[in-house]
Structure 1
């Protein structure tokens, strides 16, 4: 029997089909997760665990548990495409940083689920965590040979774990885990937001699974072909030189710190030397040998955040007089947040597989002060670290099939605009690169950028998603150099 359908009947059938598909996806997502709570987020959440083969070629081999968190949309009539947040590092726990980023994603969360996946090797997902060195005596912590021995011991301990084959923690394999989570949640497509190393992860996910990406935001772009240990030398040097130049052009700073460059150069030349500082945990004075390499690593930290960079001139001037407390304090602030602590085993598994084999093959000149400090450190570690196979296609960035918003801070010491400019050209016409001249590492954290992200992702069509207006952030000025208070004696 032939059934005739009217035009309206056909539309109704399509609508019913869409509703059934949405209800089925929602039911699948609910079945895959359980109610949970985490510190720092007040409302009830959904947590899930997905078992994945450690080695994708051996489905019956050792398994890893990939943990993920879903922050449900606040509205009942939510959109079907969630927002996936990809953490940085490499080595950060996405679930660990979730409470820190919720405020900037709050408006997106009104009608979209937010998803945080602990990438394999981080958080609770087969963690490759080394011992916390922050409580060691300062002399032991400062000893580079001892630090290398601790990394070697960590590697040996990690390799004894059931999931300890360190070759299987590459970005390529991890993004296959992420797509399996997407399927488990029943999402046809989702929106990617990645910061720092999370941008490399987002680009790799987009390369492998373009059909499942609706929109992408990458903040502080680290391309797949970036050789991090060597690019750090160039980019940190540029950020430090920019701070010196800014001080020279700021009358108050130039007056207060007229010999800043010379003091820095003389300070480097004076090392190694014995210094005494109070241990921040015990408040007891401890003496240790401060080396040039340690000072260079210390100065890198505060350059990530402009408000902390403004303290650098005063800290350098104090150190030139033998007072290292300010520099040590600035360096310690960047490593004191437990939520952003890196899983070093995962960190080295990624860098040693993806960056290390390409070290020494570029023509880029290294920073005049920074030299090969980071390259030498990674070279010593990666020599013995098991390295996973990285497909040649990983280092390629194909044209984007959906809109991509790239964000860069002009004062970023690790992923400055030059990297995003190159990626934007490779991605093609469906991109916009926003540079905030006076921002550091991470532009999404700026107050008004949450609205920019919301407008980009919430746009109904690809044609209206770009361009976005970010004038509110672009006009933010550089913080002036900190001026220490000079104590004067009060005459009776």
Structure 2
């Protein structure tokens, strides 16, 4: 069932309003279990501004795993991609309005972060939080075996059929790229083209590379500051200062008042702040400022960064996140390879469990594990545009390079000065042109125009 909202235009309002459709899709929680519960997934269609357009729609595939999608509606309302194509948003199973489980975990994680806990202490505290969540889900008859990319992909295929679309164009980033590749693999006849960014492909060994990816990105950012005269003059010798500050915070954590409660900021928390600031070019610009604030104990930049962590923790549904990652990544976790990474790491002693899925926590979450099939590259002839950020600390460009080897009609774009979140005008322009003509090699000339980071050189007090 769905309802249609016709928005009436008044002369006093010059901004045009366009039709949207709200609906609910009912799907099995676990298609492998005939006795599975039924889930109600909430979706919204932003109808094309050109009302008589017959062009294939664009379906958005949110990242995370566990990120809500419909909350992004405002971003897409007047996006150029909507000019002559419907934009379809659906909160993935277990996220947002689609029967999300244990929605208070993010708040609990943030409260753990407030405390001055060791890594083992954080693991123990988080394990307690997730254990309570599992008890609640068991009481509600939640089948954790159904929360994975294969089931997620099947949900979107059911949605396409229910809405009567012959084919559609996929648009996803981060985990959304993993979901997109799964849809391309399982339902190739339903996909006209794909635009994917920040690639997390099935064959990506996510756990093993987490530390290396963070270090490469962070130190690259610090090097860019060193190479910029203004940034280097204001924030010289950043790498050594950072390592020295992290070392000091191990024994002398900063104590802040945040939202009328104590927040003890230790070396693990400091690294999380930096991790969060690496997501996009705007927050990357303030990393030198943030390191300076950590060194000098200046509260304003630290509180702004802490807020970003709280927002992220509350945006992600961690039940869905853990379920997908445990099922699809843990079976292919290479302890020996990770041990080698640890030996080569500069920052591992400061590493925190709060932003990386611990193998100890993961093993306790559920017992379901993917077969080798879910770790194989997706081989496809579907026209696919893949974008990467040169400073991406989560899904580096090498992920895209590997995925493109198996995509016959795949094209790659690299934005050297972007992080994990890529949504700049050049990318959107290329994406729109590609979706309109996916059989043609895209013109990516605008991506070659470097746009260096505009460093935040404002006073930090």
Class of the TM-score when normalised by the shorter of the 2 chains: 0.7 to 0.9
Structure 1 equivalent of residue 293 of structure 2: 318
* Comparing 297-306 and 201-210, the one that deviates more: 297-306
Report the equivalent of 1:35: 4
Paired residue for 2:331? 357
Tell whether 2:140 aligns with 1:161: yes
Structure 1 residue 90 displacement after superposition: 0.3
Between the aligned partners of 2:94 and 2:378, the Cα distance in structure 1 is 27
Shift of 1:134: 4.3
RMSD: 2.7
Secondary structure of 1:448's partner? helix
Is residue 170–residue 388 contact of structure 1 (8 Å, CA) maintained in 2?
Answer: no
Deviation per residue, 1:281-322 (Å, 9 max, x gap): 33x6x253x333222222100111222222111221232223
Give unmatched runs, 5+ long, in structure 2.
Answer: 8-15
Deviates more, 1:326-335 or 1:61-70: 326-335
**CA-to-partner distance for each residue in 1:378-415, whole Å, 9 max, x for gaps?**
22321211143424322222332221000001111111
Question: How far is the alpha carbon of 1:361 from its aligned partner?
Answer: 4.9
Distance 1:37 1:153, change over 3 A: farther
Q: In 2, are the aligned partners of 1:52 and 1:177 still within 8 Å (CA)?
A: yes
Separation in structure 2 between the aligned mates of residue 65 and residue 208 of structure 1, nearest angstrom: 22
After superposition, what is the alpha-carbon deviation per residue over 1:90-123, rounded to whole angstroms, capped at 9, x for unaligned? Answer: 00112122323444xx333222211112111112
- What does residue range 216-365 of structure 1 map to in structure 2 within 5 Å? 216-270=194-248, 271-279=250-258, 281-282=259-260, 286=262, 288=264, 290-323=265-298, 325-336=300-311, 341-361=315-335, 363=337, 365=341
1:196 Cα deviation after fit: 0.7
- State which of 391, 407, 411 in structure 1 corresponds to 2:391: 411
Q: CA deviation at 1:483?
A: 2.0
Matched residue SS, 2:392: coil
Q: Distance in 1 between matches of 2:273 and 2:55?
A: 45
Partner of 2:61: 86
Q: d(CA) in 1 for partners of 2:312 and 2:373?
A: 35
Q: Tell me which structure has the larger Cα radius of gyration.
A: 1
Q: CA 1:261–1:154 in 2, change beyond 3 Å: closer, same or farther?
A: same
What is the aligned residue count?
A: 440
3-state secondary structure, aligned to 1:406: strand
Per-residue deviation, 1:133: 4.7
Aligned residue for 2:87? 114
Is 1:454 paired with 2:414? no
Following TM superposition, by how much is the alpha carbon of 1:186 offset from its aligned partner in structure 2, in angstroms? 1.3
Deviation, structure 1 residue 202: 0.2
Question: Unaligned 5+ residue runs, structure 1?
Answer: 1-31, 488-492
Note if contact 2:382-2:407 (Cα within 8 Å) is conserved in structure 1: no
Moved more, 327-336 or 235-244: 327-336
Does the alignment pair 1:47 with 2:22? yes
* CA positional deviation for 1:470: 2.9
Q: CA deviation at 1:335?
A: 3.9
Question: Is 1:174–2:152 an aligned residue pair?
Answer: yes
Match of 1:382 among 362, 375, 380: 362
445-454 or 226-235, larger mean C-alpha shift: 226-235
The equivalent position to 1:399 in structure 2, one of 379, 382, 387, is 379
